[in-house]
Structure 1
């Protein structure tokens, strides 16, 4: 998802692509009645003439929302653009239009890297490049009646042009969603059934991740987790960890398991392990054998301090500040969950251990969690099935 700069970010990315593909002529975004005189000389005009809602995402929960939570629906946009070329020589205008249409046709997806490059200078606060759903460009066929109506409304003579739609652009709601407190017990060992397509497979495979205490959903850096496996070779292994959001990875050497072992302990590195979802797999040292499949391992953020201060306004707002032990990095999505209120943290442009949110909150004591890329800090003692208390999990809202 992204913030309210998403529309401007799409336009900036399309303009950058067209400018680079054409090799020099200006790319304007003026209304068609002003486009011929927007700049002197040859140029291409890209006009955003309509913004619709994407029906597939209109009432759906935001992608990646944990089950049981009620986040505010996103604003799912379909942007409609009109592309036209202008020149004193009509043949040159046709050449420009053809080159511009090819630039939008191939590739037909705005990649995260392309969006980031196009918005880094003029729209540094845009986070469209972090959206999980890819932004796609599709040529749009308009009827003769639609074309005539459109150019009549523009109040300018008809010009050879091509229409495009760009979707889906998911704009986050600025209102907090609802995030219920976690369930303290889910079953005998906190695990769901394991379904595998081939029970007779002899390849090494990981079946599940078991945390230190049943019911945990993440481990802290330096903790030891247990990997449940089958068909592991009795040779030294390497656990390969890869963060699923930011460019971070780690390798942990492991001793050879006993023949027929179905469990192997994995000590997590104590440092340089950002919070969030990681993939974990096992491979023999020196790649001398088949690798296992990957499983998702949650690394929880660790909160070391909380603070709540009055932020003024009518109605009265409160600023809640969370201090984490490990930095949250650019490219990661963070939220502060105050009681049942889910409050998104603004886009990060640098790594930081201090994250603040401001909202209208009911006064009194509230439990606080830090969520990083979908993994929450722990606020419960899973061994006793009770909530924790103290200055790192509770704060008093003035």
Structure 2
């Protein structure tokens, strides 16, 4: 990259890694390790770091500054619950990469494992941070792991997994990367490259991982997404919507974290609140209604409860014999109607304003939820005959003793 863009307000400061230097270090790491692998594979989340990593590397290849490997593969995780700007930006990026001859695959959880289908069709309560954190693994980690193993198994030769991991400011000392030694004999200062020998069946050859933007600071990431990437000379990438998801013009100052809309695990829906502050995206404000809905569904009136002594397979008594469990059928149908209403409210405004539609629950998923409800589907060890969780019951203790309900 040339230094033609002198913008001290963006790149200045004695302790700040200037943009051209950041890209040069990325180029050096890719030149050192990229050519030693036949295939490059990106696990793309759609967030700011993975978007910057993917577009920077592909640009460097297209500009002739990096030799093209035998193949480039991009696997994009679609949880069906991402912030609307990230979903749209990710889809546009995949379309662009496919037109360039790059293998692209959008990875989604199986229908019955998707967030709303699993929760409203099977009746599993909304996830929480204590005993029921099921969402991240089920709708993102497991599908991506399976897809990566499958894709890597299809490729002959050595594989370089390229990630968007960043170390940030702590990786910068005296204008260079100062990292501890890496694994497998990597030199000091190059600890972001690690070789691993996968255990998954069907994967041939040694796989290495590389985080070529490890040294980038958040300012470098947003400078690329907001200023450079959209320029024709840098590839004309449509990355502005990614910056929007983190706060638009104030993205760097806010440095918000994104996640699922209405994230059931977060104390506050900061990602969505940040997005709707931008006038263009204000029409998706009804999505703020998801988080209160999840809180409502956790209440005893919307769930079942075990009523007596529960014995396990080994004959012992369950530690929590009167634990609350799945959502009642009434609660599931109520929640389904609320989610559809929230989505419809967003999309009515989207059509009126000519904006992108919200798609968190499609017709196939709705139909499957209704089918599972009609089939009287419950989580394992529940049959729907249990009392509602707000029903007064005799107290059952962990030792099996019972305290009759006082009338």
TM-score, with length taken from structure 1: 0.23
Higher strand proportion: 1
**Which has the higher relative contact order, 1 or 2, with Cα contacts under 8 A spaced 6 or more apart?**
2
State TM-score, norm by structure 2.
0.23
More helix by share: 2
Work out which of the two has the higher radius of gyration on C-alpha atoms and give 1 or 2: 1
